[in-house]
Homo-oligomer: A and B are copies of this chain.
């Protein structure tokens, strides 16, 4: 009988972030299954051993998964493994690695990020070219990796064709391709394709579990072993090596060996779609709704009134853009109540 006490109301959900959600019950079950007895630490356990098969099912037999704690960890370990000390990474100006990691790539790995403004959070070959130059110039941190986020920080996604074009551009320059896939499942769910269909030509993937229902856990998935060096050491030195790794591993098994990843992602996406559809007549939806995020423009006072009852973030103070995220546990009732409030606050029309 634990001494901890429940301090929150488990029936309350909001639209602030898919990180605000808890853990999917099947994940907790899996953790319980892996508990009891002793297993070697630091990844030498039977659950971690099995992960190669789990990820291989989606990404091919050459895929090498290295579980880590969180997304920043996955990104920084992966990018280090792909670069020499003097190399740099091309990414969108809105990329999580640039905006939301408190400088971890620079600070931990000494990486220079060459950022590119984009209209929708997505790089294109043309945009990549603006920074893909200067090889052999000792004054320039040598561009070595392109990093894209799928689905993006703006709720948009890359089609397989778009990714192929980026792969071609990247390879033409002798660079490698990194994908921040903290919401890769959402992109695959929307597109109705296997996960692996979105990673052809990707060299290293940060595969996200936390936003899709885990307690914690991401994985550096090496899709092209020739593109990396020293992942094992870099993970440890980046403080991303869990001692009781069996519990990270078994969560991924629960997520990926069946269709939990897809159920969770599809549901979250559907809830975003439902929300956008319900309010689209009343507010301006400012970005394509392609995953589990809805961006909209709201007058500030409307946003503030809504935020009294529903948690969500203002994305851009200047433009009044707000972000609504759905997650695996968002219910249709949650959405409908929120949508009704939005419509009511905006006077039933509003666009």
Contact = CB atoms under 8 A, between A and B. Distances in A.
Nearest to A71: B243
A194 interface: no
A36 B331 CA distance: 13
A207 interface: no
Contact of A3 (B23, B72, B73, B253): B253
Interface stretch (A82-90, A149-157, A159-167, A276-284): A82-90
Given A1-B26, A10-B35, A215 B247 contact: yes
Nearest to A100: B139
Given A19-B244, A233-B102, A254 B3 contact: yes
Contact of A38 (B12, B238, B247, B254): B12
A343 interface: no
A241 B70 contact: yes
Interface residues of A, number: 103
A351 to B, nearest CB: 28
A13 B28 contact: no
A81 to B, nearest CB: 9
A312 to B, nearest CB: 11
A28 to B, nearest CB: 6
B26 A28 contact: no
Give the secondary structure class of A's interface: loop
Given A19-B244, A22-B39, A139-B100, A30 B4 contact: yes
A85 B39 contact: no
Interface stretch (A45-53, A120-128, A196-204, A301-309): A45-53
A216 interface: yes
A141 interface: yes
Interface stretch (A107-115, A171-179, A184-192): A107-115
Given A6-B33, A26-B1, A242-B69, A141 B106 contact: yes
A170 interface: no
A22 B244 contact: yes
A32 interface: yes
Nearest to A134: B99
Nearest to A46: B7
25 contacts: A4-B29, A4-B30, A4-B253, A8-B39, A8-B46, A10-B37, A11-B37, A14-B38, A16-B38, A22-B39, A28-B31, A28-B32, A28-B35, A80-B85, A86-B102, A86-B233, A86-B236, A86-B237, A101-B139, A106-B110, A107-B108, A108-B237, A110-B110, A216-B216, A239-B240
Interface of A: 1-14, 16-17, 19-23, 26-42, 45-47, 50, 69-73, 76, 80, 84-86, 88, 99-104, 106-112, 115, 138-142, 210-211, 215-216, 229-230, 232-244, 246-247, 250-251, 253-254, 257-258, 260, 311, 327, 329
Which 10 A/B pairs are nearest by Cβ-Cβ distance? A10-B36, A3-B258, A103-B141, A86-B233, A107-B110, A4-B30, A19-B41, A103-B112, A10-B37, A20-B38
